[in-house]
Amino acid sequence: MIDYRRATLADLAALVELAAVTFPHSAPVGSEPANIQHHIDSYLNTEKFTWYLESPQVTVLVAEEQGVLLGYSVTIAQPSEDAEVLAALTLHPIVELSKCYVHPEHFGAGIAGGLMKATLAEAANSSAAGIWLGVSSVNERAIRFYEKQGFVKVGKKSFLFGNRLERDYVMQRALADSRQT
């Protein structure tokens, strides 16, 4: 049975390891391995995950089975500083879904859907009206998944990944229908 719960500092090493395994599957198509590794080393390291786990604005949820982490999500309850994101969003206040990944050995097993349901319920318990995310405009599998979860495209944003300028879709959805009663 899969459990969905808040992560703790005891999960730190497993989260960093899981992030290193999952990120390459969501990196922009055609990314150079050195750029993928740089991203992992810079943004999915012990220091970053320690900050996520200790920050009151961040919620890290995990999907776990028999003590093994199979997936994780990170939501951040603070406004984006990206002008393109701010221009696209129509729901306020809004929480960012920064990360939502499942181990590739468990793709198609329903874990992502369960993790998303838990993530949306957790976000809905805040005062946010909505939740947003950025997803690679060429990651069709992820886009379909997010659309199935009720997210809609509301704009695009640019970011530098290694030496390549990439474009992400900005997607959002309301949280009202995710609130637990």
Q: How do the domains of the chain map onto residue ranges? A: 3-178
CB neighbourhood size of 28 (10 A): 18
φ and ψ of 102, to 5 deg: -125, 145
Residue 99 reports pLDDT greater than 60: yes
Residue 180 reports pLDDT greater than 90: no
- How far, rounded to the nearest angstrom, does the alpha carbon of residue 164 sit from its chain's CA centroid? 21
Over the stretch 40-93, which tens digit does the pLDDT of each residue have? 999 999 999 999 999 999 999 999 999 999 999 999 999 999 999 999 999 999
Which amino acid would we find at residue 161?
Answer: F
SS (H, E, C) the chain: CCEEEECCHHHHHHHHHHHHHHHHHCCCCCCCHHHHHHHHHHHCCHHHHHHHHHCCCEEEEEEEECCEEEEEEEEECCCCCCHHHHHHCCCCCEEEEEEEEECHHHCCCCHHHHHHHHHHHHHHCCCCCEEEEEEECCCHHHHHHHHHCCCEEEEEEEEEECCEEEEEEEEEEECHHHCCC
Over the stretch 105-159, which tens digit does the pLDDT of each residue have? 998 889 999 999 999 999 999 889 999 999 999 889 899 999 999 999 999 999 8
- How far, rounded to the nearest angstrom, does the alpha carbon of residue 103 sit from its chain's CA centroid? 13
Closest CA to 70 of 162, 136, 3: 3
CB neighbourhood size of 49 (10 A): 25
Topology (CATH) of 3-178: Aminopeptidase (3.40.630)
Query: Is the pLDDT higher at 154 or at 162?
Result: 154
Query: What is the pLDDT, as a whole number, of residue 181?
Result: 39
Please state the length of the chain: 181
Beta bridge partners of 158: 167
User: 32 is written with which tokens?
Assistant: 């150079």
Count CA atoms closer than 13 A to 124's CA, side-chain side. Answer: 15
| Interatomic CA distance for residues 80 and 161, integer angstroms | 18
Q: What is the pTM of this model?
A: 0.93
